Structure 1
Amino acid sequence: MTGSDPELVVPAEIRDVILERAREGTPEEICGIFGGDFEHEGRSRVRSQYPAENVAETPRTRYRIDPEEQLEVFEHLEDRGEEIVGFYHSHPRGPPQPSATDEAQATWPNRSYLIVSLEPLEIGSWRWREDAAGERFESERLALE
């Protein structure tokens, strides 16, 4: 890492689609996958988003993407020449930051985890890190284009 904060660049139209899905999905959490590019160390650019069904046992407070659906999206991204940039989900009644469950389930190093809060309406983005200090979420800058 170069010392600069990580950054996730998201087109405004993709942000708007995710916000609308989050509103429509309430009271349950919505989730999905981002495709795109790693432009340089610490900066990712979203080029596409793939909504996924939330198959968690308690979808009002958790999210889980079906592994088969996730694999299909990953294969589609590969066919398009895109990388897995990260994931998104909503917290209908919580803050736009990772919960203890989000931390326990994060498995993709250097990928972004965008979280939409509906009450109040806010978006937060976090980068999952694994290094000598351990595993943790690091706040990242969210840039809209």
Structure 2
Amino acid sequence: MLKKFLKPMKLPAPADWGVLILRVGFSLLMLTHGYAKLQNLLAGDHSFADPIGIGEELSLYLTIFAEFGCSILLILGLFSRAVLIPLIFTMVVVLLVIHAEDPFDKKEHALSFLIVYVTLFLTGPGRFSVDSGLYK
């Protein structure tokens, strides 16, 4: 069952190129957010929001894991559907908790990432991914 979940689906060649562009492009954009948080953490700044009540420090670690670590794996196309789960969860929290009371223009950034991540979750990483090579 796990192998079926991780295995990329066959897409037409143009769709594979589109998935590659989405996967790498949005991961690079997200990587900048995670890298900034990682730099703050390494500089000794452990302050962070606690939107779901698990503590500031754990929230920071999990957010860095999602935004930085999972983005690197998604660029490679390695364990793509699995690493999309923390990214989707993070964007849902940003959208519905962090920016819950904000106007739509503040929510739009998280919503854009969420739409792409859900799309990639449904399509898989495409032919140009490590996953594709692993599950041939």
TM-score normalised over the length of structure 2: 0.30
Q: Say which one has the larger Rg.
A: 2
Bigger helix share: 2
